Structure 1
Amino acid sequence: MARTSTRTARRLAAGAAALVATGALLSGCALGTAGGYVPTGDLTGDLADFDGALDGAEITVGSKNFNENVILGKMAIILLRSAGAEVTDLTNIPGSAAARQAQTDGQIDAMWEYTGTGWITYLGEAEPIPDEQEQYEAVRDADLEQNQLVWLPPAPMNNTYAFAMNPEVTQRLGIESMSQIADLPVEERTFCVESEFTNRPDGLPGMLETYGIPLDQPDGTPESNLRTYQTGAIYDATARGECNFGEVFTTDGRILALDLTVLEDDQEYFPKYNVSLVLREETAEEHPEIKELMAPVTEELTDEVLLELNARVDVEGEEPAEVAYQWLEEQGFVESP
């Protein structure tokens, strides 16, 4: 009991120190972040040997400002604090560009990032790599060389673009893959998309071309078949049947909540967006334990897991930190002291 009490006191002190440090950092860089209470526990199961492994380490964790990335950020904070580190919480930074800049500037030591985003958006590569492992290795090697950032091994989950159908359309059309859209009558090829997706190099025009139904071509897809919405509105529009095929992200919790069916991207058109914890090289070298600490957890982060966790936040309104902790507890990675 004495050891538990000491660890609890240390966690409380670390939390207070993190709040002070966060306030000082935010006053200097004006990053809006989530902060707030993040629970911690005792590491157990596959992580039991990391109890106290990061005593004395000072680590700043960031995330972008969408719920999946915040959940993952809170998960990292829970694990690092539970291993003894003093962690500053800079999750929920508005915008990918600001979050990336904060890490390359050294304000953030650790942040979950997506392989496709790293390769295309940050490194400026025009062509994605279809194979998941090859895409990871390419972005890992290039980002280390160019920006001194270390990409840890990625999770199985792939939060990429996809198209989904509501239950009525799923039953009526009876298709499972995007290649089968070409077999449908032209009037059935209706799409709900966001405006940005119609102009992206990895967006709608290329997708329609790849699947043999090019935009405004004979026997293709008329532009009049497109319905344009804000990103968040596409899910409801698809559920209401305003189009047959709605643009979605494969780990968005609303897919479950609205009982949407995702079509297989059988031509592997869309880039791979597997998630990986990215560390500054200095942090990775000073604390090699982080890689081993995160590995068993990362391996469990599948599309199905993130769909469920995202739905609990996006749809049910739960707090990301609580959702992250409860999942870690259910998986046997942490337990309450």
Structure 2
Amino acid sequence: MKKFIITLLSLTLLTGCTLPGLGANAQSNDIVIAGGNTTERQILTEILVQMTQHYIPDVKVSQINNLGSTLLIYQALTRNDANVAGAMYTGTSLTGELHMDPITDPKLAMETVQKEYYNRYQMLWFPSYGFENSYAFMVTRKFAEENNLSKVSDFENLSSTLKVGVDSSWIDRPGDGYESFKELYGFSFTNLYPMEIGLVYNALQVDEMQAVLGYSTDGRIEAYDLVILEDDRNLFPPYDASPLLSIKLLEAHPELETVFLKLENQIPQDVMQGLNRKADELKIEPKKVAQQFLEENNYFESVQPTPLSQRDGYSWYQERSAQ
């Protein structure tokens, strides 16, 4: 029954039938933020909600949470069920909804998704929060020290005996999935186990697996004292995280640009790991995690960001601003 309900929800978004209660707000001047079903996306969505309410208290802000993929978030945006995304990731969108080849240079990847989202969808992809959440191979610190592991290519001599748990969606992923891994690194794993991404860290901790493929900002990396191995042959493109909003909404609330830019480079990777850990391990609600973070930083009141129209590399945005 649960599978049926989940499937029905996904099909509703995919087929063009607006979900009950959605759409109307996003088509007005209200702010509707599309979140996700990961802890990280829920925290970042809450940060945007609370930042917006702090600086623009008279605007109505709501959110759509538990969207299970970037594709569903993208569809919510393009169908006007939402007009802001709490977190989008460069590498995911490049090979996903944009149907482009992976780009390993972080700056070029960011510039590409910004231009493409603006030209195709009339949406403004902001600069990064300050971290990227990439796929990453990891092992326990003890295993790394015992086997002198520091980079992914070090797996080659262990590839026939190593038990490796990986995100099940990675196996057939185009661009940076298992087929590309084998081609780039020149070896395969004899014992490869597809798993739900949330289970890989526990499998490593209890020695069911000796290596896993997880997410680089997961709070359990610190909690379980895991070591991320260097992707020394650059399989994974950058996955810098940014907020996104529609140009139509920005025209209604131009002050949102300054609000969102206050968060630029304010959440480095170790900080995001810590925020995720509070929610995942300490069981603090994402809303509370976001509130504590913003209060500790005084809502970044002292940050005075440079407008995008005055920055190099934003000629496509400057042309719009001049109109």
TM bin (shorter chain): 0.7 to 0.9
SS at match of 1:297: coil
Match of 1:192 among 165, 172, 185: 165
What pairs with 1:154-169 in structure 2 (closer than 5 Å)? 154-169=128-143
Q: Using the alignment, how far apart are the partners of 1:114 and 1:195 within structure 2?
A: 19
What pairs with 1:49-64 in structure 2 (closer than 5 Å)? 58-64=30-36
Contact 1:115 1:139 in 2 (8 A): yes
Contact 1:31 1:93 in 2 (8 A): no
SS at match of 1:64: coil
**1:29 equivalenced with 2:15 (yes/no):** no
Aligned to 2:60: 86
Contact 1:188 1:244 in 2 (8 A): no
Q: Which moved more, 1:306-315 or 1:90-99?
A: 90-99
**1:307 equivalenced with 2:261 (yes/no):** no
SS at match of 1:227: strand
SS at match of 1:82: helix
Aligned to 2:317: none
SS at match of 2:131: coil
> TM (normalized to structure 1)?
0.76
Aligned to 2:13: none
Contact 1:192 1:228 in 2 (8 A): yes
Q: Using the alignment, how far apart are the partners of 1:203 and 1:30 within structure 2?
A: 36
Report deviation, 1:31: 7.4
Task: Say which one has the larger Rg.
Answer: 1
SS at match of 2:201: helix
**1:131 equivalenced with 2:118 (yes/no):** no
Report deviation, 1:232: 1.9
Deviations 1:86-127 (A, max 9, x none): 2122233344333221111122121121112221111111x2
Q: 1:31 to 1:140 in 2, by over 3 A?
A: farther
Q: Using the alignment, how far apart are the partners of 2:84 and 2:167 within structure 1?
A: 31
Report deviation, 1:188: 4.7
> TM (normalized to structure 2)?
0.79
Aligned to 1:40: none
Report deviation, 1:138: 0.5
Deviations 1:27-59 (A, max 9, x none): 961479xxxxxxxxxxxxxxxxxxxxxxxx632
Report deviation, 1:334: 6.5
Q: Using the alignment, how far apart are the partners of 1:265 and 1:275 within structure 2?
A: 19
**1:72 equivalenced with 2:44 (yes/no):** yes
What letter corresponds to residue 181 of structure 2 in structure 1? M
SS at match of 1:276: strand
Report deviation, 1:229: 2.3
**1:175 equivalenced with 2:165 (yes/no):** no
Match of 2:251 among 285, 288, 292: 285
Q: Which moved more, 1:73-82 or 1:231-240?
A: 231-240
SS at match of 2:197: coil
What letter corresponds to residue 267 of structure 2 in structure 1? L
Report deviation, 1:287: 2.4
Aligned to 2:260: 294
RMSD between aligned residues = 2.3
Contact 1:31 1:94 in 2 (8 A): no
What letter corresponds to residue 74 of structure 1 in structure 2? E
Where does the alignment leave 5 or more consecutive residues of structure 1 unmatched?
Answer: 1-26, 33-56, 216-220
What letter corresponds to residue 168 of structure 1 in structure 2? K
Where does the alignment leave 5 or more consecutive residues of structure 2 unmatched?
Answer: 1-16, 23-28, 302-323
Q: 1:30 to 1:67 in 2, by over 3 A?
A: farther
Deviations 1:203-251 (A, max 9, x none): 12322331232x3xxxxx43xx223322222111112223322111001
Report deviation, 1:82: 0.8
What letter corresponds to residue 92 of structure 2 in structure 1? T
| Residues paired across the two proteins, number | 276
Aligned to 1:248: 214
Match of 2:116 among 125, 129, 142: 142
- The sequence identity of aligned pairs, in percent, is 28
Q: 1:247 to 1:152 in 2, by over 3 A?
A: same
Contact 1:67 1:320 in 2 (8 A): yes
Report deviation, 1:80: 0.4
**1:260 equivalenced with 2:226 (yes/no):** yes
